[in-house]
Amino acid sequence: MEDKMLTCKDCSAPFVFSAREQQFFAEKGFANEPQRCRECRQTRRAQTGSTAPSGTRPSFDVVCATCGVNTTVPFRPRGDRPVLCRSCFTAKVPVGA
């Protein structure tokens, strides 16, 4: 593999997609090349609040609307719909839905 010159889709500046980075992308199974330069990626992460390590989500404590058990969910409840624990949710949702 050789270094490639790519163009950032945000700032239009050219940046190097190094052979080492290409190897890393291939090992991780990434099919697409990066679209943003390092600076624009960092700026985008800062704007979206994506500072948590990859694969982690915020969790929110709730009480199941059906059985009353304390549980956590990966979204902020809005209050306009009941929130269910995993057991109650899987019991109500048909398989394959």
List the domain range (segments joined by +) for residue 41: 4-48
**Claim to verify: residue 66 and residue 43 sit in the same structural domain:** no
**Claim to verify: residue 15 and residue 43 sit in the same structural domain:** yes
* Residue 70, in any domain of the structure: yes
- Domain count for the chain: 2
**Claim to verify: residue 36 and residue 72 sit in the same structural domain:** no
- Count the Cβ atoms, other than its own, within 10 Å of residue 4: 13
pTM to 2 decimal places: 0.47
H or E element that contains 26: helix 19-28
**Claim to verify: residue 69 and residue 36 sit in the same structural domain:** no
Q: What is the mean pLDDT of residues 15-31?
A: 92
**Claim to verify: residue 40 and residue 68 sit in the same structural domain:** no
- Is the model more confident about 49 or about 23? 23
**Claim to verify: residue 13 and residue 41 sit in the same structural domain:** yes
**Claim to verify: residue 35 and residue 69 sit in the same structural domain:** no
Strand positions, DSSP E, the chain: 4-7, 14-17, 60-63, 70-73
Q: Identify whether the C-beta of residue 16 lies closer than 8 Å to the C-beta of residue 2.
A: no
6 pLDDT higher than 60: yes
**Angle at the Cα of 92 (from 97 to 88), degrees rounded to 5?**
125
84 class by beta-carbon count within 10 Å (0-12 exposed, 13-18 middle, 19+ buried): buried
Q: Give the tens place of pLDDT for each residue, 24-63.
A: 999 999 989 999 999 999 998 888 765 555 566 788 899 9
